Structure 1
């Protein structure tokens, strides 16, 4: 792709203010629902005409969105799967491919990208606050939707209680986003994160891609306790920072949490910065840098 400016990139998400998106100053971010209204006004059509790259995130994506706007833009259109490819997203991929308007498909998970014939680009993150230094109130924090993880979360909670390790669980049900009962706005979520020594990450079944919890851990220098066994293959992995449940002995968890955080090289963190993520879509030569894992992650 020829070089283009960030001002000519549009990111289409379920919610334009999701997570850290308000910090993405160099590009436009809108919701899918707002996007389809662009064609109803001359101003909206003018905006569509100036974009050269439109990236749809999977959450909130409707397969007909690209078809609705295609006559009003010459932008390259990308669908980026930022979530584990459950059957819902596999069906969405098949439907979108049948329609045939999207130019390229990407997954944040290199294993799933290989399995389903997609391009790969990493997950991405930009810190939206500076976490103050303070004595934590608890050792680990888990916050998120149930997604079949509640039972395991309570098993871990009980085991950690026997080791005198404190965990705060904040689990909600439903797939309605901010309409879910108990929905936690991201700034509030980060307040809980401030008060923890580390993050508990419980992956969905068969999920291996790096999650938002992993990004928070490396950007905010928090210990990570995770069920993701694939994480040991990534360049940022260090045993002083990441404890893998099911591989590392649970009896050593207290010692792990008491150890100092091992500082990471800037390049290993900066790789996941949002601007570098956009660059890997824009400049083909930078796709060669998309080797964030260290060894045999894609073998087999």
Structure 2
């Protein structure tokens, strides 16, 4: 972000250049550290006064950020949880609520939003590249931090070896996110993705919300093999595109991967586009956002 004003909305993330953030349009993106720096000079304070909506992502959020900027802005401030609400994030939610400067709290997961009395807005995504068409080198790709998923991934790898299904695993260890040794910058991650027929998604324990892997599968038309059993309640679900481990028979995985990708209607995926996502924060908050899933999801 430079000294020009691009938007009335500011997104505050751990790093302004993670994932697809450089491709976002109609919204400014900044790191938390850079946000604090804006308060140190007149130009920065003028920027803060300009914004009408400031959205903090949970990852990288510090509870003192709203206090640091409150005298320089009249913007509505939102804390958006786009990660599974583990105890770490529940503690963050509790600490922030005690301070009382955030106007509204949201979760990307409608189940967790209902459970913890948060507003719901979907996850979001912007395809940052046009993936070239090519014959895949392998059937499935999993890339990410271990977070307890490594053993399960190895078990799937062993099982698939007997099914003539090839999997590329790229698993790193550590709790530092993009600072972990071996971290794949997102463009590099997409280079692996383009060589795969599909994506292997291994959820953390008790996680049901839609992940970045799900978004990649939808927007890049890649097959998804997932442990997320709740995904069948979403409107974009189709059995030709999504294979649910633990429900669909693993013996049918090879046949699933050979079937053509079923085209999904644009109406079922457009709400996940970033521009539609941040515009929804200006809508009436007490309206339940249930246009992405069937009502049965909330009883899951």
Q: Classify the TM-score, shorter chain.
A: over 0.9
Label 1:6 to 1:237 Cα distance change in 2 as closer, same or farther (>3 A). Answer: farther
In structure 1, how many angstroms separate the alpha carbons of the residues matched to 2:82 and 2:41?
Answer: 31
Q: Give the deviation of 1:17 after TM superposition.
A: 0.6
Q: Deviations over 1:40-90 (max 9, x none)?
A: 100111000010000000000001101110111000000000100011000
Question: Would the aligned equivalents of 1:11 and 1:28 in 2 still touch at CA under 8 Å?
Answer: yes
Question: Would the aligned equivalents of 1:145 and 1:171 in 2 still touch at CA under 8 Å?
Answer: yes
Question: Would the aligned equivalents of 1:216 and 1:222 in 2 still touch at CA under 8 Å?
Answer: yes
Aligned residue runs from structure 1 range 81-100, under 5 A: 81-100=81-100
1:256 counterpart residue number: 256
2:294 counterpart residue number: 294
Deviates more, 1:101-110 or 1:281-290: 281-290
Q: Deviations over 1:208-239 (max 9, x none)?
A: 00000000000000000000000000000000
In structure 2, how many angstroms separate the alpha carbons of the residues matched to 1:244 and 1:294?
Answer: 17
1:72 counterpart residue number: 72
In structure 2, how many angstroms separate the alpha carbons of the residues matched to 1:286 and 1:277?
Answer: 16
Is 1:120 matched up with 2:120? yes
Aligned residue runs from structure 1 range 138-287, under 5 A: 138-284=138-284
Unaligned segments of structure 1, at least 5 residues: none
> What is the SS of the residue equivalent to 2:144?
strand
Is 1:16 matched up with 2:13? no
> What is the SS of the residue equivalent to 1:165?
coil
1:39 counterpart residue number: 39
Label 1:148 to 1:260 Cα distance change in 2 as closer, same or farther (>3 A). Answer: same
| Runs of 4+ in structure 1 over 2 Å off | 283-291
Q: Give the deviation of 1:25 after TM superposition.
A: 2.5
Deviates more, 1:267-276 or 1:199-208: 267-276
Paired residue total: 296
Question: Would the aligned equivalents of 1:280 and 1:290 in 2 still touch at CA under 8 Å?
Answer: no
1:28 counterpart residue number: 28
Deviates more, 1:167-176 or 1:194-203: 167-176
Deviates more, 1:17-26 or 1:280-289: 280-289
- Measured on the aligned residues, the alpha-carbon RMSD in Å equals 1.5
Unaligned segments of structure 2, at least 5 residues: none
1:53 counterpart residue number: 53
Aligned residue runs from structure 1 range 130-145, under 5 A: 130-145=130-145
Q: Give the deviation of 1:199 after TM superposition.
A: 0.2
Q: Give the deviation of 1:288 after TM superposition.
A: 5.5
> What is the SS of the residue equivalent to 1:284?
coil
Label 1:111 to 1:217 Cα distance change in 2 as closer, same or farther (>3 A). Answer: same
In structure 1, how many angstroms separate the alpha carbons of the residues matched to 2:185 and 2:6?
Answer: 27
